[in-house]
Copies of this chain bind each other. A is one copy, B any other.
Amino acid sequence: MGGLAVGIDIGGTRVKLGWVEQSGRLLTRSEIATPVTATPAAVARAIAAAAGQLSAGDPPGGSPALPDRIGIGCAGLIDRRAGVVRTSPNLPTWREVPLAELVGRELGRPVHLLNDATAFVLAEAQLGAGRGSSPVVGLTLGTGVGGGIAAEGNIMGGARGFAGEIGHMSIAHDGPPCPCGNRGCLELYVGRRGIVAEYLRRAPWEPGTSAYERAGGDRRALSPRLLAAAAQDGETAAREAFAASGRMLGVGLANLANLLDPQLFVIGGGIAQAGDLILEPARRTLRERAMASGGEAVPVRPAALGVDAGLIGAGLHALSSGAAEVSS
């Protein structure tokens, strides 16, 4: 079990990289800006160069010091088996990009690609808040809402590796249209835009209120983080916005409880940092709506591994995928 992998997490603004031990410990770590407008080949080169430089002092790319196992987590629709990014909100011009092959060629090593929320759930299920529980259903609440299902520490990928799109479960069949093509998706209510919209629906939006002052009067500066601070300041509309989103989250969790009977829910992503502002209303709705509860509602826990969970999960995925098949 003493393997070592490079874990890479491609986010909307930063690419995080690190050497990951099987235990989840990060040995070394770095970040580069996400080259959002670069071509796939240029992105692959930038990632490979950064990965090579992680082993400070050794020659980059193909260095014997670089671990054999490389895992990349990326938001979007990821064909895990083929190592292809079908589409990604973080790299909006990409279509069907064989990222695993592109990076693998640069590094002379097989690269294992997976969805970033899947990587998060893998790490939290094996080493974080979900350790020892099975199945674990994990959600990441951010600009979008991602997720995954782990059983006995392994991700359920489904037939093609697309399973876990929890943010695109409709809880309002005739609700507002979602960019994904569906309507009333959970992400519309629980993601960043949903919380901001819930706030603006309730707020007077005038000088003297906490969120207004914190945003300098600029609505575009509103974010879940800013609204969480306003809620801590005691602004009612901000508290209510989180409560409304939390209730919608609870509707989604009740559906997942009825479908999957998880032993535990793990909630991560930036919005989860609002903590009980959003999680308490979610727990209450879960208890009210899920079957089989009888006082034994599924626990809802915040993620334990912090901002590096995706990075660690990408490394764990590479370690469990092995290095047998070389893609170059």
> Which A residues have a C-beta under 8 Å from some C-beta of B?
77, 86, 133-135, 149, 151, 156-166, 168-174, 180-184, 248, 251, 254-256, 258-263, 288-292, 294, 298
Can you list the 8 inter-chain pairs with the closest CB atoms, starting with the nearest?
A: A158-B261, A159-B263, A165-B258, A163-B261, A162-B261, A182-B289, A173-B251, A168-B258
- Between A149, A164, A168, A183, the greatest number of chain B beta carbons within 10 A of the residue's beta carbon is seen for A168
Q: Given the complex, which residues of B lie within 8 Å of A164, measured CB to CB?
A: 259
Given contacts A158-B135, A261-B157, A292-B77, contact A172 B169 (CB under 8 A): no
* B291 & A260 in contact (Cβ 8 Å cutoff): no
* A259 & B261 in contact (Cβ 8 Å cutoff): no
- Between A162, A169, A258, the greatest number of chain B beta carbons within 10 A of the residue's beta carbon is seen for A258
* B77 & A165 in contact (Cβ 8 Å cutoff): no
Given contacts A183-B289, A251-B173, contact A260 B163 (CB under 8 A): yes
Q: Given the complex, which residues of B lie within 8 Å of A77, measured CB to CB?
A: 291-292
* A259 & B262 in contact (Cβ 8 Å cutoff): no
A86-B292, A160-B261 given. 5 additional CB < 8 A pairs?
A: A135-B156, A158-B261, A168-B258, A171-B171, A181-B289
Q: Given the complex, which residues of B lie within 8 Å of A256, measured CB to CB?
A: 259
Q: Given the complex, which residues of B lie within 8 Å of A182, measured CB to CB?
A: 254, 258, 289-291
